Amino acid sequence: MRRTALLVSAALLTSLLPVAVARAADDPPPVPVDRFEGEVPFASPPANGIFTWGSDTDDPPTLQLNARVDAPEGDKVLSGTYDISGYGGFTHDFAAAEPAHDWSARKGIRFWWEGQDNGKKVAFELKDGGANGEASELWTTSFTDDFTGWKQIEIPFSDFAYRTDYQPVGGIDHILGLTEMWGYAVTLPAGAPGRFALDGVELYGRADQSLRASVLTDAAVYPVREGGTAHVKVTVATTGSTPIDEPVTVAYETTGGTASDTDYTARKGEFTFPAGTPSGTTRTIQVPTLKDRAASETAETIPLRLTVTGAKAPAETPQVVIDAHGLPYLDSRLPVKKRVADLLSRMSLAEKAGQMTQAERGAVGTGADITAEDLGSLLSGGGSTPTPNTAAAWAQMIDSFQLRTRATRFQIPLVYGVDAVHGHNNLVGATVMPHNIGIGATRDPRLAQQTGAVTAAEVRATGIPWDFAPCLCVTRDERWGRSYESFGEDPALVESMETVIQGLQGARDGRDLKDGDKVLATAKHFVGDGGTAYGSSTTGTYTIDQGVTTVTRQQLDAVHLAPYRTAVDRGVGTVMPSYSSLDIVGDGLGPVKMHARADMINGVLKNRLGFDGFVISDWNGIDQIPGDYTSDVRTSVNAGVDMVMAPYAYKDFHTALMAEVRAGRVSERRIDDAVSRILTQKFRLGLFEKPYADTSGASKIGSAGHRAVAREAAAESQVLLKNSGGLLPLRKSQKVYVAGSNADDIGNQSGGWTVTWQGSSGDITPGTTILEAMRANSPALTYSKDASAPTGGYDVGVVVVGETPYAEGVGDVGNGHDLELSAADRAAVDKVCAAMKCAVLIVSGRPQLIGDRLGGIDALVASWLPGTEGDGVADVLYGRRPFTGRLPVTWPKSQAQLPINVGDPTYDPQFPYGWGLTTLTKVPDGGAATLKALGIAAAAAERAGADDTGRALVDKARLIVQRKADGHMTADVAAPFADADHLLLTGRYGEAVRKLTQAYRAA
C-alpha cells in the first residue's frame, strides 16, 4: 500500500474511534509516558524498560511493537498474546539510576486499549515511592474489557487503591504521593488465551486539590481485653507530604457490630484538621470497653464509622474487638484434646470450612478475606515474598495477617506455611543449606538434624510456624526435575536422614512445637512421587514430574511407603499428597491421582500407619482430579485431605465444601475430623497463646553459627568419584587455574527453590561462591570462566561446571533440559584438562553424563547443590576436612540406562550407589584375608547390636574394595558394592562385608 493510501486509511479509522473525554479549557496539555514508537526498550530493572512476568514459565505474555495503520498515536502500538494459568503481565519501570518522575500536578493517567469484548477485568497498577520500581508501593485499579476496538481509558489517581502484597510490607507511607513515580504495570486476565494492544499512555488533567488529601487509620483491627480501651489513630496525609490546603473534617461514630451497648462506651464526635495542617498529623479516638457479668464470651466487634469531608476516607471501617475470654479452649492448662473438643463444639460449618482452607498471601490483599472467609491458613508460594525481603518485613507481614483473625468470633489464629526446603530459602540473607540430595550424600543423620534445626530457627524467627518440608521422595529416575529434593534412591537412606524432622519439630510428641525455634514439619509428597515413569506426565510440557508411578503393592511398601512409616513414628505434624498418580498393579483401578486415593490417605496413612496430624493438599492439587471443581472438593476431602491449598480459588473451595456438606455428600463427621486435626497442631504450636511473631531469634538468621552448620553440610556432601595420583586435596602453595560456569555463581550453586521458585543464576543472596572460597586458600589463583585466559604455567586446574537452577517439572529432562554438560562447560573441561592436571567439580541437582571425558580428568567431584557456603567445598578441596561423601544415587554411564537403581537385576553404572573415595583415613592393609576378618567381626557386631562398631567395620571393607576397583569398574563390581551400602543402612553388617568381598573378587 502506498504511503498516501495509508494516511487516508488511518484518517478514516481514527474517525471511527471512540471519542476521548474532551479536555477542559483550563487543563494543561497531556504529558506522554509511553508512545511505543521505540523510545522505550524491552529491558529489565534497574534499566528503563518494559519487561514481562508471570507465576510460572508459561504465564508471561509475549510482547512486540507493531506498526499499525490504526494506531491511535504515532505509527506503532504495544501488542501481545497471553495464556495465563496463574498470573502474568508486563511492567514499564523507569530506570532506577535516574530521578523518579513527579506526577503530582496531574489528575490521572490514560491510555488507548484495543478491546476484545471478553468481559474480563484488566488490572492497572502504579509504582509510587521507595528506592526504585521494585521496592515501591503498589496502587491498583482495574477496567473491564467489554468493548471492541480502540478506546481511551481514563483513570483518575483517586481511583487507585493501596495494595499490601508484593510490595514493601507495611508500605512506605500508604499515600499515593505521585511525587516519586517509578512506572506502571498491567496484569492480564487468566484462564483463557487472549490478545491485547496498548498505545498512548499519558498523564492528563490538572490535579484536583480536594483529592490530594487522605485520611488513614493505623490498623484495620484493634483488639483489646474486656475493660480495656482501644486507641484508634487517625492521620491526615497528602500527596507530596505538603500541608493540606483546605480543612479536613472527620466525623466518627461507634455503630453496629456484634458488641452490645453494655460492652463499651459509645463514641460519637467530630474533629477537624485545619488548613495548613502538616501531612502526617495524627488524632486519636479512644473507645473504652466495659466489663460485664458474663464469665465467658466470644470476641465482639465494635465498628468505628468514619465520615470524611475534604479528603479521601479510609478504605475500610476500623473495628475495635473485645477479645474472647473465659472459654475452655482458651485455657492453656487444659489438655489439647479437651481444648479442641470445646472449640469444635462451638464452631459453625462456615468456620470449620474456613479452617480447612489455605490461601496464597498474594491473593488476600490487605487480608480482609481472612475475617470474611474465616480462613485458617495462608502460605507463601515459591518466591512470594514481601518487599523488602527481610526478616523484619516477613514478621510484620504475617503479624498483619494474624491481626485479621482477631476480628473473628473465636479468634482462631492462622497457621502460615512456606517451602523452606533447604534453609529458609525464600528469605534473602538466610542460611541456604545443600539440597537434600547433598544431605543424603553426607550419610550423617546427626548433621541432617542440625540442618533442620537451623532451618526451623530461621523460619520461626520470621513469624512462620509451618514448613512444607522434608521431601521424603525416593528418587528412581534422574530425569526427574525434583531429583535434588530427594535424599537418595534407597528408601533406607531416606529413612536414615529423617532425623531432619526432629531438627524441625523437636520431640516426637510435639511438646517442643511451641518453642520459638521449632516449626511444624511436612512429609511430602505422599506417596510415590519419585517413581513416576518417564513420559507419563500430562502436566503441560513436563515429561516425568506429576506423572504415573506403577508398582506392585510389595514395591510400594518397600520403596515408597517406608519413609512415611518412619516419619509417622517420628511424629511428623503434616503430610502432603503428591500431584502424581499411583497405579498399583492388580488393584483394577488403573492410575489414580494421589489427592483422590482414599485407600492410601485414609486407609494406609491414617488408619494403618496411625498418622494423627493433618493432610494438606499441594498447590491446586485437587484440581488435577478428573471431574468438575465440586467433585474435586468432594473426592479429595472424602479421601482424607484435611486442608486444601487453594491459593487463588479459596472462596470457591470454601463455598463448594459447605455446599457438599449441606447436600450430604461430605459428612459432618469427616469435617469434624479434619478440623480437629488442624486445631490440634495449632494448639501444639502455641498459636492461641502467642499468635504473633517471636522475632527474638532473628539476629541469628544467616549468623556465623548457622552458616557453620551449612558449611559442614556442604563439606560432607562432596563426593570424590575419582582421584588419580592423589591430586586432591590441593596444596596452598600450588598455582591454580579455575574455570567453569559454576565457579563463581551463588545462584547456580544454590539451585532451585532459592529466593524464587525456580531459582536463578547470579548474585541472588549473600553467601560465598566456590571461587571466593578457593581464593582464600590459594594465593596464586587465576580465574577464567570460559578458560580463555592462557593456561600455561599452572600446577593444577579446577573446572567447576554443571547445571543452572530449575524446580519441579520445569527441570524434567526432555522439557528443555538434559543430563549433558553445556557446550561451554565441555569446552572448558577439554581445554584445561588438556593443558594441566585437573579436577572437575560438578555442581548439579543430579548426575551429569561424563562419558569418554572421564579418562582425561584426574579428579572428579560430585558437588551437588552446596548452597550459600562455598567455603565447605573449599574445605575438602584443600584438606581442611576430608572427603567422606558417598553417592546417594547411582551415577549412570548414559541416559539409555535410566532408570538405574541399586538392586536392579542389570546394573552397570559409571559409579555405583554408595561410591565415594575418602581422604580421611589410610586404606587398611591386606586384601581378601582382611575382608574375611572384617566380615567375621561385622557379623558379631550385628548380633550384639553394636551399630557404631558394625558401621566402622563395613567402612573399612569398603575402602579396601574402592582402592582395588578404582578405574576398573564393571557390572560385577558395581552391583554387590551398591548392595553393600544398602545393607549397611539396614544394619546387616555381616552381609554387607560379604557383598563387598564379592565386589573385591570381581575387581
- For the annotated catalytic residues, the residue numbers are 618, 808
Alpha-helical runs (H) found in 557-695? 562-569, 598, 629-639, 650-662, 668-684
Give the H/E segment covering residue 822: none
Tell me the CA distances in angstroms from 428 to 304, 465, 554, 579, one per residue in order: 39, 18, 44, 29
The grid coordinates of residue 466 equal 509451618
Q: Are strands 377-380 and 357-360 parallel, antiparallel or unpaired?
A: parallel
DSSP code string of 255-284: --SS--GGGB---EEEEEE-TTPPTTEEEE
Nearest to 689 by CA among 514, 899, 923, 948: 514
Phi then psi for 102, rounded to 5 degrees? -105, 110
The amino acid that residue 840 corresponds to is: V
List of residues 6+ apart from 377 with CB closer than 8 A: 355, 357, 358, 359, 414, 415, 416, 417, 466, 643, 678
* Residue reference for cell 499519558: 202
Phi then psi for 669, rounded to 5 degrees? -65, -40
947-965 and 971-985 helices cross at what angle (nearest 10)? Answer: 170
Asked if the bond preceding 572 is cis, omega within 30° of 0, the reply is: no
Cα distance between residue 770 and residue 442, in whole Å: 19
- 297 forms bridges with which residues in the sheet? 325
Cα distance between residue 765 and residue 749, in whole Å: 11
* Residue reference for cell 507511607: 173
Cα distance between residue 378 and residue 645, in whole Å: 9
The amino acid that residue 511 corresponds to is: R
Cα distance between residue 191 and residue 207, in whole Å: 37
- Give the DSSP letter of residue 323: P
Q: Backbone dihedral region of 180: left (phi > 0), alpha (psi from -120 to 50 degrees) or beta?
A: beta
DSSP code string of 43-111: --TTSSEEEEEESSTT-SPEEEEEE-TT-SSSSEEEEEEE--SS-EEEEEEPPTTSPPB--TTSSEEEE
Please tell me the number of Cα atoms within 13 Å of 242 on its side-chain side: 12
- 125 forms bridges with which residues in the sheet? 140, 185
The beta-carbon contacts of 826-831 under 8 Å, at least 24 apart in sequence, are 826/853, 827/786, 827/787, 828/739, 828/740, 828/741, 828/785, 828/786, 828/787, 828/799, 828/801, 829/740, 829/799, 829/801, 829/853, 829/856, 829/857, 830/856, 831/739, 831/787, 831/791
Cα distance between residue 612 and residue 684, in whole Å: 13
Please tell me the number of Cα atoms within 13 Å of 434 on its side-chain side: 37
Cα distance between residue 256 and residue 270, in whole Å: 18
Q: Are strands 574-577 and 522-526 parallel, antiparallel or unpaired?
A: parallel
* Residue reference for cell 496525609: 237
Cα distance between residue 777 and residue 586, in whole Å: 59
The grid coordinates of residue 327 equal 472459654
The grid coordinates of residue 845 equal 541437582
